[in-house]
C-alpha cells in the first residue's frame, strides 16, 4: 500500500506532464513550473510561476480600466423595494439606470458610491419603453463619471465588463465586476406589453444577475458601451446563464437630452408596419394615412431600403432602428418603388399617448413579465415573506429628504419639471451670450437675394411682419397672439416663424409664452434631406447629423420649435400654423452675429433660399412704411 501510494503520488504531477504535451504550452512557463513544482514538493512550499510581461501588462491595463469604471458605478437602494445599479455620466451627478429599477423607488432614492459614501438622488427623466431612467445624485459637483463610447463600433468578441450590484451584494457600495465578451450586437428583445423593449441591444456573456440592472457595461478602456438591464433567467430561476443584454450607449445618447429635460419620453413609431416579402425584401405592409411617412409619400408595398442611415434587410433591423429613436425625431428614410429610389425625411410619432405612459409609470398598468424578465429587485422576491410597503406597485407619496427639497416639481407629461426649467434656462443663457441685441422696439430689416438672384426684403417689428418677394408682398399682425395664416403663400408660415424668432431673441426663453425644453434632435444642416451633411458627426447619431438643443413654444394655435446650437446660435425654427399641418421649416446659416442665409422648407418643397446681404436695425419708428429709408449710422443706405 505505502509503496503504491508513493509511486502514485509522484505520478500525481501528471497534470503538468499532460499539459506539457499540449502544443499550446511548449514555451517557458510549464517546464519552469515543473521545476518549481518539484522543488516545492521537497520544500513543502510553492513559489509563484513566472508570467510573461505582456500578460502582466494586459492584466494591469484591465485592472486600471476597472478601477476607473468602478468609481462611476452607483449602487441604488430603493429601501423595501430592493434596489439595483446605475452609472454616473457627468461630474454634476447625472446617472443612468433602468426604468424598472427606479419605478418601485419613486422620486427619491439613496445611492452608494465605491468610496463608501451615500448620496441622495432624485428622479430626473424616464423612458419606460426603452427601460431607461436618468437620476441626479446630489452632494458633490465633482462626481467621478464614465464617458459614453460609440456602441456602433462594438464587435462580437470584444472584451467587456459589467459593474453593478447583483443581489445587492455590494454592502460596502463597491461594485461587483464581471467580465466577458460581447456575444452579439444589434439584438432585438421583445417588449413586455408596450414597454421595456430592448432594441439594437448588446448581448454579453459577462455575468448579469438580478441587481445588475441599470449598471454600466464598459469596454476595455472603461468607457460605457451600454446599460445592463435584462438577462435570460428562465433556465436557472433568477440566476445568470451567460446571456445578458445591455441598452446600447448610442440609444442612451439619443435620449439623454430629452431625459435631462425632465420629460417622460416616448419612443418613435413610423406609423407603418413592414413585412418580409417572398423575395426577402422588407416592404410596407400597412401604413396610416395620418402618418408623416404617408405625407412624405411612403405607400403600401414600397420597399424600405434604409432608415436613419442604416440599411434595412430584415424586419428586425427596422425594429432595431426605430426602437432606438425618440418620438418627434426626424430621420432620413430611403425606400424603393418600381426600381426607383426615394429619399425622404420622416418625422416620427409616439408609441403612446402621454396619458398611457403616465399610467404605466404610476404602476397602474403593470405589464406581464417578458421572458427575459428584467429584475430590479433581488431583495423582496429573494426574501419571500417580508412585508412589502403598503400598496407596493402603486407610486408611493413623495416624501423628499432635506437634501432634495426644491429639486422635484411634478407636471403632466413630465417626470420632474424642475429639470426642464434648468435646461430651458441653460439654453436661454447660451442664446443671450451669443446674440448681442439692439435695444428697444427696433424694426429689423433683412434684405438680400433669393436663390435665383431676385431681391427680397423682410421687415420685422413688434407690431407686424412684412415680406417683399418677386411674387408679391404679404404681411401679418405681430402683436399678441399670432394669427395662423401661413404667409407668404407656399411658405407654410414663414412670417409667423420669423416673428417667433424675433420674440425669442428679444424676450429670451424664460419669458417667451409657454416655452419648455424639448431635448435634442439631429440637425440636418442646409440642404439636408438625406444628402448627408458637412456638420461634424456625434458618434451614433443617424446619418452623421449632430445633436442640438430644442426649445418648444406655443402661442395660441401656433406651435414653434427652435433648434439651438451649443454656442447659442439659433439654427432654425419649425412652425406649425395648425398641429396636423406640415410645419414651415426655417434653417439659418451662422454668420458673425446675425445669420448669413436662411433656407425655408415646407413639406417636401424648398420654398426658397435667402442670402441675407444686410440687416438694418431701424430706431423705433413711427410706422414701418418707410422702413429702410435711412439706415443706421454705420450701415450704407439703400
State the catalytic residues: 100, 131, 213
Cβ proximity to other proteins, 64 vs 451, nearer residue? 64
Give the integer Cα–Cα distance in Å for 308 and 319.
12
Least CB distance to other proteins at residue 319 (A) = 11
Cβ proximity to other proteins, 375 vs 585, nearer residue? 375
Least CB distance to other proteins at residue 634 (A) = 40
> Other CB atoms closer than 10 Å to residue 474's CB: what's the count?
18
Give the integer Cα–Cα distance in Å for 356 and 232.
28
Residue 162 near residue 181, CB atoms below 8 Å: no
Cβ proximity to other proteins, 25 vs 354, nearer residue? 25
CA triple 413-416-422, angle to 5 deg: 110
Residue 361 near residue 353, CB atoms below 8 Å: no
Least CB distance to other proteins at residue 339 (A) = 23
Give the integer Cα–Cα distance in Å for 564 and 541.
17
Cell readout for 517 is: 425644453
Least CB distance to other proteins at residue 619 (A) = 48
Residue 210 near residue 167, CB atoms below 8 Å: yes
Q: At what angle do helices 494-511 and 417-434 cross, to 10 degrees?
A: 110
Cβ proximity to other proteins, 360 vs 446, nearer residue? 360
Least CB distance to other proteins at residue 355 (A) = 23
Cβ proximity to other proteins, 165 vs 553, nearer residue? 165
Cβ proximity to other proteins, 47 vs 510, nearer residue? 47
Give the integer Cα–Cα distance in Å for 33 and 485.
87
Least CB distance to other proteins at residue 416 (A) = 16
Cβ proximity to other proteins, 131 vs 150, nearer residue? 150
- Name every residue whose Cβ is closer than 8 Å to that of residue 230 and which is 6 or more positions away in sequence: 131, 189, 196, 198, 201, 208, 213, 244, 245, 372, 373, 374
Give, in order, the Cα–Cα distances in Å from 438 to each of 502, 506, 539, 594, 622.
Answer: 11, 9, 38, 12, 17
- Name every residue whose Cβ is closer than 8 Å to that of residue 481 and which is 6 or more positions away in sequence: 555, 556, 558
Cβ proximity to other proteins, 230 vs 263, nearer residue? 230
Least CB distance to other proteins at residue 183 (A) = 4
Least CB distance to other proteins at residue 253 (A) = 15
E strands within 327-485? 330-337, 340-347, 349-350, 443-450, 455-460, 464-469, 472-477
Cβ proximity to other proteins, 67 vs 277, nearer residue? 67
Give, in order, the Cα–Cα distances in Å from 331 to each of 260, 272, 294, 309, 606.
Answer: 22, 15, 14, 8, 17
Cis amide bond preceding 246, omega within 30: no
Give the integer Cα–Cα distance in Å for 88 and 111.
11
Give the integer Cα–Cα distance in Å for 271 and 275.
14
Least CB distance to other proteins at residue 157 (A) = 4
Give the integer Cα–Cα distance in Å for 121 and 138.
6
Which residue in this structure is represented by grid cell 434632435?
A: 521
Give the integer Cα–Cα distance in Å for 183 and 156.
6
Amino acid at each position: 500500500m505505502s509503496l503504491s501510494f508513493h509511486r502514485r503520488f509522484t505520478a500525481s504531477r501528471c497534470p503538468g506532464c499532460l499539459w506539457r504535451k499540449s502544443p499550446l504550452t511548449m514555451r517557458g512557463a510549464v517546464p519552469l513550473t515543473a521545476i518549481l513544482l518539484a522543488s516545492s514538493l521537497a520544500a513543502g512550499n510553492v513559489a509563484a510561476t513566472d508570467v510573461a510581461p505582456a500578460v502582466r501588462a494586459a492584466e494591469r491595463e484591465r485592472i486600471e480600466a476597472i478601477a476607473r469604471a468602478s468609481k462611476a458605478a452607483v449602487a441604488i437602494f430603493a429601501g423595501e423595494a430592493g434596489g439595483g445599479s446605475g452609472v454616473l455620466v457627468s461630474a454634476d451627478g447625472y446617472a443612468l439606470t433602468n426604468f424598472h429599477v427606479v419605478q418601485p423607488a419613486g422620486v427619491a432614492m439613496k445611492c452608494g458610491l465605491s468610496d463608501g459614501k451615500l448620496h441622495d438622488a432624485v428622479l430626473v427623466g424616464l423612458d419606460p419603453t426603452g427601460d431607461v431612467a436618468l437620476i441626479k445624485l446630489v452632494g458633490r459637483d465633482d462626481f467621478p463619471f464614465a464617458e459614453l463610447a460609440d456602441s456602433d463600433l462594438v464587435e462580437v468578441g470584444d472584451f467587456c465588463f459589467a459593474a453593478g450590484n447583483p443581489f445587492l451584494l455590494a454592502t460596502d457600495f463597491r461594485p461587483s465586476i464581471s467580465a466577458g465578451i460581447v456575444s452579439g450586437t444589434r439584438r432585438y428583445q421583445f417588449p413586455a406589453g408596450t414597454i421595456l423593449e430592448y432594441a439594437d441591444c448588446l448581448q454579453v456573456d459577462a455575468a448579469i444577475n438580478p441587481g445588475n440592472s441599470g449598471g454600466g457595461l464598459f469596454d476595455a478602456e472603461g468607457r460605457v458601451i451600454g446599460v445592463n438591464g435584462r438577462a435570460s433567467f428562465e433556465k436557472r430561476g433568477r440566476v445568470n446563464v451567460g446571456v445578458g443584454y445591455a441598452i446600447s450607449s448610442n440609444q442612451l445618447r439619443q435620449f439623454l437630452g430629452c431625459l435631462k429635460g425632465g420629460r417622460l419620453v416616448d419612443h418613435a413609431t413610423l406609423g407603418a408596419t413592414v413585412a418580409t416579402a417572398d423575395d426577402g425584401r422588407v416592404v410596407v405592409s400597412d401604413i396610416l394615412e395620418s402618418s408623416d411617412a404617408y405625407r412624405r409619400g411612403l405607400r403600401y408595398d414600397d420597399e424600405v431600403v434604409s432608415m436613419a442611415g442604416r440599411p434595412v434587410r430584415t424586419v428586425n433591423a427596422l425594429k432595431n432602428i426605430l426602437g432606438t429613436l425618440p418620438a418627434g425625431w426626424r430621420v432620413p428614410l430611403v425606400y424603393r418603388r418600381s426600381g426607383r429610389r426615394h429619399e425622404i425625411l420622416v418625422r416620427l410619432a409616439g408609441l403612446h399617448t402621454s396619458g398611457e405612459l403616465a399610467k404605466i409609470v404610476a404602476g397602474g398598468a403593470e405589464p406581464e413579465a417578458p421572458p427575459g424578465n428584467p429584475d430590479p429587485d433581488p431583495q423582496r422576491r429573494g426574501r419571500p415573506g417580508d412585508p412589502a410597503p403598503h400598496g407596493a406597485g402603486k407610486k408611493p407619496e413623495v416624501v423628499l429628504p432635506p437634501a432634495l427639497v426644491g429639486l422635484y416639481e411634478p407636471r403632466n407629461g413630465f417626470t420632474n419639471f424642475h429639470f426642464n426649467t434648468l435646461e430651458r434656462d441653460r439654453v436661454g443663457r447660451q442664446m443671450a451670450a451669443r446674440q448681442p441685441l439692439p435695444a428697444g422696439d427696433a424694426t429689423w430689416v433683412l434684405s438680400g437675394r433669393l436663390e435665383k438672384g431676385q431681391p427680397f426684403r423682410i421687415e420685422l417689428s413688434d407690431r407686424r411682419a412684412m415680406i417683399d418677394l418677386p411674387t408679391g408682398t404679404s404681411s401679418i399682425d405681430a402683436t399678441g397672439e399670432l394669427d395662423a395664416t401661413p404667409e407668404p403663400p407656399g411658405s407654410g408660415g414663414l412670417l409667423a416663424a420669423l416673428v417667433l424668432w424675433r420674440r425669442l431673441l428679444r424676450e429670451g426663453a424664460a419669458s417667451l409664452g409657454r416655452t419648455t425644453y424639448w431635448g435634442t434632435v439631429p440637425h440636418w444642416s442646409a440642404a439636408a434631406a438625406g444628402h448627408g451633411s458637412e456638420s461634424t458627426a456625434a458618434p451614433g447619431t443617424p446619418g452623421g447629423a449632430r445633436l442640438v438643443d430644442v426649445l418648444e413654444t406655443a402661442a395660441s394655435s401656433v406651435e414653434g420649435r427652435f433648434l439651438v446650437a451649443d454656442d447659442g446660435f439659433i439654427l432654425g425654427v419649425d412652425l406649425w400654423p395648425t398641429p396636423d399641418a406640415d410645419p414651415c421649416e426655417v434653417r439659418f446659416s451662422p454668420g458673425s452675429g446675425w445669420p448669413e442665409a436662411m433656407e425655408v422648407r415646407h413639406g417636401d418643397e424648398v420654398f426658397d433660399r435667402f442670402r441675407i446681404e444686410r440687416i438694418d436695425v431701424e430706431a423705433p419708428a413711427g410706422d414701418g412704411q418707410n422702413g429702410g429709408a435711412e439706415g443706421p449710422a454705420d450701415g450704407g443706405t439703400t
